Amino acid sequence: MKQLTEQVRLRNGVILKNRLAIPPMTTRMSYYDDTVTGDEIAYYGMRTGDAGLFITGVAHIQPNGRGWTGELGVYDDKFLPGLSKLATTIKQNGTKAVLQIFHAGRMSDSKTLEGEQPVAPSAVAAEREGSEVPRELTNTEIEEIIENFKAATVRAIKAGFDGIELHGANHYLLHQFFSPHSNRREDQWGGSLEKRYTFIERVVDGVLGVVKEMNVPDFIVGYRFSPREETDPGFNLEETLWLVDKLADKELDYLHISLTRYDRATNIQKYADKSMLQYVYETINGRLPLISVGDIHTREDVATALQYSDIAAIGTGVLIDPKWFAKILAGRDSEIRKTLNLQDKELLMISNGTYAFMEMKTPELLVK
Ligand SMILES: Cc1cc2nc3c(=O)[nH]c(=O)nc-3n(C[C@H](O)[C@H](O)[C@H](O)COP(=O)(O)O)c2cc1C
């Protein structure tokens, strides 16, 4: 049985001091111009130093990739001072700092993009209330986005991060290229499953190429994905296992599934016997570490999640109790704060945006 206190070796040989991680959680606290704020530094500083891996909230790689206001930016060298401060803040006591990067694609709106229409693989709106019809990306623009993922990786290296995570989950641009709902293209970027994977492969290879060129073999590159989508058309677990198999053969350092609950199963008959996490873990078959996530709140949850993963990530738990990891590692489990008190919101550096998100997703954890 895996122990949460054990070290983990990533594919490139980097050692994480334990099997615990903080998953990416956007704070919605960056400045209007996407630079890091003092409040963000305080938020990260309060929570770092105990988990082996700390992945930041997502940062957009070009201006029209912004998903919401208050999100980190990494599309210009002007961000380097703030990002360096962020990396230094997180890298305490051996915790590895990983910057999550993305392009939001159609999961944005013209208000967030200061009047610009969002872009996506195809001109099809997302199935969520208030979604705008995006503009279809041209071939040249797709090539530019790939270059911008590479440039963002260079900046993460220069800023002193230990790595980057490509956000290929939660319906953002990398996910949109893989999805038959958002990608209706009939050129080299769309059509068959293989073609819908082309953009992902180009971005992964591009970013791994940057790490080689800059000669930083210790730099971590992770990839996050969603196991399925609920739209029709939409990809299902079978197609995801195909993707996972492809990604596990790349020189990535870890894979990270995005789940609201770590032991969720899918509804397709063929894969109804086990959790999605277990299918993914078995597909990877030890080629590289897998991070699990979703409603992991106790030591027992960690132990169960680690049956079919190598690292367990705790999100909401660490918003509510910044010392969640310190308490677990010291065996002081009973002292873990389980609910968020409205009075303590500011003290714990929970932004109004994060609070509103929790109110929508996990109201049972909030005490008014
Ligand atoms: C406030 C908040 C912000 C989030 N922001 C991101 C993000 O920037 N990138 C991402 O991949 N996932 C994001 N997530 C999803 C989390 O990484 C995680 O998958 C999810 O919260 C489930 O874990 P939990 O049950 O431990 O909270 C966010 C979640 C929360 C609660």
pLDDT tens digits, one per residue of 55-107: 999 999 999 999 999 999 999 999 999 999 999 999 999 999 999 999 999 99
pLDDT of residue 342: 86
pLDDT beyond 90 at 368: no
Q: CB–CB of 117/110 below 8 Å? A: yes
Angle at 295 between CA 336 and CA 331, to 5 degrees: 30
Q: Whose CA is nearest to atom 4 of ligand 1?
A: 25
Distance CA 107, CA 95 (A): 31
Q: Closest by alpha carbon to 308, among 2, 75, 5?
A: 2
Distance CA 130, CA 108 (A): 10
Domain ranges, ordered by start, for the chain: 8-367
- Ligand 1 in contact with 57 (CB < 6 A)? yes
pLDDT beyond 90 at 236: yes
pLDDT of residue 161: 99
Tokens encoding 354: 């994060």
- Ligand 1 in contact with 67 (CB < 6 A)? no
Q: What CATH number has the domain spanning 8-367?
A: 3.20.20.70
Q: Which atom of ligand 1 is nearest to the CA of 297?
A: 26
- What is the 44 CA–ligand 1 centroid distance (Å)? 15
- Ligand 1 in contact with 120 (CB < 6 A)? no
pLDDT-derived band at 318 (thresholds 50, 70, 90) equals: very high
Mutation test residue for ligand 1: of 25, 101, 293, 309, the one with most atoms within 8 Å of CB:
25
- Ligand 1 in contact with 316 (CB < 6 A)? yes
Q: Which atom of ligand 1 is nearest to the CA of 169?
A: 11
pLDDT tens, residue by residue, 38-61: 999 999 999 999 999 999 999 999
- Ligand 1 in contact with 169 (CB < 6 A)? yes
- Ligand 1 in contact with 171 (CB < 6 A)? no
As a whole number, mean pLDDT of residues 257-271 equals 95
Q: CB–CB of 61/99 below 8 Å? A: no
Distance CA 293, CA 65 (A): 25
- What is the 280 CA–ligand 1 centroid distance (Å)? 20
Mean pLDDT score of the chain: 97
CB atoms within 10 A of CB 334: 6
pLDDT-derived band at 15 (thresholds 50, 70, 90) equals: very high
- What is the 23 CA–ligand 1 centroid distance (Å)? 6
